[in-house]
């Protein structure tokens, strides 16, 4: 069989939900064929140094009935639960691979290069009971195979249970994968898989934890000539991956980095929706933005308390302990009151994250990333090239609309370079308008400036790979430093929550606890005055810096 490109959505779920999916009726707009069930044993092979794993390849031999089928996959990473490996299959004589049977020369030669003459041996195996259901969307040729796997992964003496649903696009529209998943109630609480089965097997063999570490943003790999649609898809999938991964991190760990990265992911998503607003149906964008905003507010409550502990209270009290009057300050009592509030907020957030709203957001994002929710021609003012071909501008007048190309033609021609330049210029001007009055800004306006700087930074990070790194790096470094200073100023304002936390206890706090809170606030307010002087100087440097997207 020649190499093909798989498109799979991988989801982990509870055993009870997997049972429900086996008999769930087809949702509206889809039909389902009768389910089939079979036992599968898959043996994964690699070199002693795991060369295949490092190169993101996998090689397995699977028993299917009385046959053994060899499968080679290249590009086995998972982003936003979505996997797109190249795959080649061939029937083999027994439970050992035969690389001579790989028909496509590029796949065969690529695998030989990765192995580089080393021997192959079993690395781990999976034993699964797989129920397969085939869904077809009414009105087109979209066909989706859903594989429901219940079983375990074995690596030596180590065993890990696994309950997983894989939705594989056999033909048609990739957005339908997410539409189908969002229409099946049993998937409302599923987790987006961070690893393929091969990735899980390697992690089990190495004794590594899987899937719970906080996830930082992954940069989209773009060039100035990358199509606008693929660029937007890559950015959205990066946001999805960060949100889904850090949802799991918050559910399973108390590590403050999880809420921090989850809030960053949600803010990046909102910025991406804003930057690409001309491309998205207005109602869809508003709905997605509102869902992301509401979730970010809940995550922000926990993140603010984490910041209050780590960046406000602890640094100030470390200084206080060096002074002569330490005995007058009850920082332990202050810490206990904050921690009690933090536990309550974390519990409420986890209940929200375990509910169906997060997956509803992620499934809609996945559909948007693959074209569902893009503006229709009759709704869209569109984007078109200037007459001189130097950039893109939004059509506004009736004459513009009459001249605009069809949506399909515009998308085919549109590239990310000119679009990114205009988007960055717009974000720059929004920040510069506020910063021009930096000495006159109220506390609320300073917060607004901080948000505009953050939006500018996210936009720079979205498109940075489409510009020369030597030009982007200095600008981004200044912007990050400036944003950090304004972030600290905002944290000092947020520290005003201390007074409310102290007063919210069942009993009146000891005088020493109130004194500790007062010391913390006073210490940071004194430092904030100096920090604002730094912010002013940093803005002047940033304002004079060359805007890399111009020209």
For the chain, how many structural domains are there in total? 2
Q: What is the CATH number of the domain that holds 424?
A: 1.40.20.10
pLDDT at residue 343 above 80? yes
pLDDT for 403 = 46
Last residue of one domain, picked from the residues 154, 178, 211: 211
Contact 447, 488 (CB under 8 A): no
Report, as an integer, the average pLDDT of 122-130.
Answer: 95
Q: How confident is the model at residue 80 (pLDDT cuts 50, 70, 90)?
A: low
Q: Which residue has the higher pLDDT, 323 or 286?
A: 286
Angle, alpha carbons 126-131-132 (nearest 5°): 110
Of all residues in the chain, the percent with pLDDT exceeding 70 is 87
| Contacts of 117 by beta carbon, 8 Å cutoff, 6+ apart | none
- Has residue 367 got a pLDDT over 90? yes
Cα distance between residue 186 and residue 163, in whole Å: 13
> Residue 173: inside a domain, yes or no?
yes
Tokens of 356: 């169906």
**Which one of 211, 237, 260 terminates a domain?**
211
Domain membership of residue 51 as a residue range: 4-211
Average per-residue pLDDT in the chain?
Answer: 86
In a domain, 40, yes or no: yes
More reliable by pLDDT, 69 or 194: 69
Pick 492 or 460 by higher pLDDT: 460
pLDDT of residue 314: 85
Three-state secondary-structure class, residue 164: strand
Task: Name the band, by pLDDT with cuts 50, 70 and 90, for residue 446.
Answer: confident
Q: What is the mean pLDDT of residues 174-196?
A: 92
- 399 band by pLDDT with thresholds 50, 70 and 90: very low
Q: Is the pLDDT of residue 229 over 60?
A: yes
Residue 95 phi/psi, 5-degree rounding, is -80, 45
Query: What whole-number distance in Å separates Cα of residue 107 and Cα of residue 27?
Result: 38
182: three-class secondary structure by DSSP: helix
Predicted pLDDT of residue 527: 85
Question: What is the full DSSP assignment across 23-45?
Answer: HPPPPTTEEEPPPEEEEEEEEEE
Structure tokens at 316: 């100030």
CA–CA separation, 301 and 348 (whole Å): 10
Return the percent helix, strand and coil in the chain, to nearest 5: 55, 20, 25
What pLDDT was estimated at residue 27? 95
Q: What pLDDT does 266 receive?
A: 97
What pLDDT score does 505 carry? 62
CA angle 359, 365, 368 (to 5 degrees): 145
Euclidean distance between the first and the last CA atom of the chain, given in angstroms as a whole number: 49
pLDDT band at 352 (very low <50, low <70, confident <90, very high): very high
Task: Give percent of the chain with pLDDT exceeding 90.
Answer: 58
H helices, E strands: number in the chain: 18, 15
Return the residue matching tokens 């894989």. Answer: 166
The answer on pLDDT for 391 being more than 50 is no
Whether residue 202 is contained in a domain is answered as yes
CATH code for the domain in which residue 16 is found: 2.40.320.10
- The C-alpha atoms of residue 262 and residue 258 are separated, in whole angstroms, by 6
Confidence band of 384 (pLDDT split at 50, 70, 90): very low
User: What's the CA gap between 79 and 65, in Å, rounded?
Assistant: 32
Q: What is the mean predicted confidence (pLDDT) over 174-178? A: 93
> What is the pLDDT at residue 410?
53
Q: Would 287 be classed as within a structural domain? A: no
Q: For 246-269, what is each residue's pLDDT tens digit?
A: 999 999 999 999 999 999 999 999
Distance, in Å, from the CA atom of 206 to the CA atom of 329, rounded to the nearest integer, reads: 48
**400 within some domain:** no
Mean per-residue pLDDT, 71-75: 88
Domain boundary among the residues 211, 240, 259 is at 211
What tens digit of pLDDT does each residue of 285-304 get? 999 999 999 999 999 999 99
- pLDDT at residue 387 tops 50: no
Given a cut of 60, is residue 15 above it in pLDDT?
A: yes
Does position 483 have pLDDT exceeding 80, yes or no? yes
Is 35 inside a domain boundary?
yes
Q: What is the pLDDT of residue 83?
A: 63
| Phi, psi (degrees; rounded to nearest 5) at 89 | -120, 155
Q: Is the pLDDT of residue 98 over 90?
A: yes
- The secondary element (H helix, E strand) that includes residue 506 is none
Q: Which residue has the tokens 């500018």?
A: 456
């Amino acid at each position: 069989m020649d190499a093909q490109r798989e498109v799979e959505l991988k989801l982990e779920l509870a055993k009870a939900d997997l049972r429900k999916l086996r008999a769930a009726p087809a949702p509206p707009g889809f039909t389902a064929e009768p389910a089939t069930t079979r036992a599968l044993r898959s043996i994964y092979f690699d070199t002693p140094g795991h060369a295949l794993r490092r190169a993101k390849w996998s090689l397995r031999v699977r028993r299917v009935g009385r046959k053994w089928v060899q499968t080679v996959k290249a590009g086995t990473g998972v982003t936003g639960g979505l996997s797109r490996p190249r795959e080649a299959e061939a029937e083999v004589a027994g439970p050992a691979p035969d690389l001579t049977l790989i028909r496509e020369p590029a796949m065969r030669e690529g695998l030989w290069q990765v192995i580089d003459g080393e021997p192959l041996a079993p690395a781990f195996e999976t034993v699964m009971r797989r129920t397969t259901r085939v869904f077809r969307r009414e009105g087109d040729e979209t066909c989706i195979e859903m594989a429901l796997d219940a079983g375990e992964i074995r690596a030596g003496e180590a065993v890990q249970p696994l309950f997983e649903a894989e939705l594989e696009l056999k033909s048609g529209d990739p957005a339908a994968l997410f539409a189908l998943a969002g229409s099946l109630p049993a998937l409302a609480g599923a987790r987006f898989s961070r690893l393929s089965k091969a990735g899980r097997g390697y992690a089990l063999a190495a004794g590594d934890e899987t899937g719970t570490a906080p996830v930082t943003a992954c940069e989209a790999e773009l060039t100035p000539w990358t199509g606008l649609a693929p660029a937007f898809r890559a950015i959205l999938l990066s946001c999805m991956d960060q949100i889904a991964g850090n949802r799991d991190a918050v559910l399973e760990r108390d590590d403050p980095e999880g809420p921090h990265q989850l809030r960053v992911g949600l803010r990046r998503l909102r910025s991406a929706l804003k930057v690409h607003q001309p491309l998205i149906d207005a109602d869809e964008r508003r709905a997605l933005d509102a869902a992301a905003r509401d979730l970010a507010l809940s995550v922000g409550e926990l993140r603010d308390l984490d910041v209050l502990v780590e960046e406000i209270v602890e640094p100030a009290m470390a200084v206080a302990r060096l002074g002569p009057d330490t005995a007058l300050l009850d920082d332990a009592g202050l810490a206990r009151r904050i921690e009690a509030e933090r536990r309550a907020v974390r519990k409420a957030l986890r209940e929200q994250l375990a509910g169906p709203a997060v997956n509803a957001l992620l499934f809609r994002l996945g559909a948007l990333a693959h074209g569902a929710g893009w503006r229709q021609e009759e709704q869209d003012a569109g984007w078109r090239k200037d007459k001189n071909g130097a950039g893109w501008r939004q059509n506004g007048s009736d004459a513009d609309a009459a001249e605009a190309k069809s949506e399909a033609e515009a998308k085919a021609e549109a590239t990310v370079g000119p679009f990114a330049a205009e988007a960055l210029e717009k974000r720059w001007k929004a920040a510069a308008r506020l910063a021009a009055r930096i000495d006159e800004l109220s506390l609320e306006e300073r917060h607004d400036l901080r948000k505009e700087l953050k939006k500018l930074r996210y936009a720079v990070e979205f498109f940075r790979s489409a510009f020369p790194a030597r030009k982007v790096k200095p600008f981004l470094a200044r912007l990050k430093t400036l944003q950090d200073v304004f972030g600290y100023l905002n944290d000092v304002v947020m520290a005003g929550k201390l007074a409310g936390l102290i007063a919210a206890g069942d009993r009146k706090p000891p005088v020493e606890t109130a004194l500790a809170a007062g010391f913390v606030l006073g210490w940071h307010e004194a430092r904030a005055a100096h920090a604002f002087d730094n912010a002013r100087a940093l803005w002047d440097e940033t304002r004079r810096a060359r805007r890399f997207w111009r020209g």
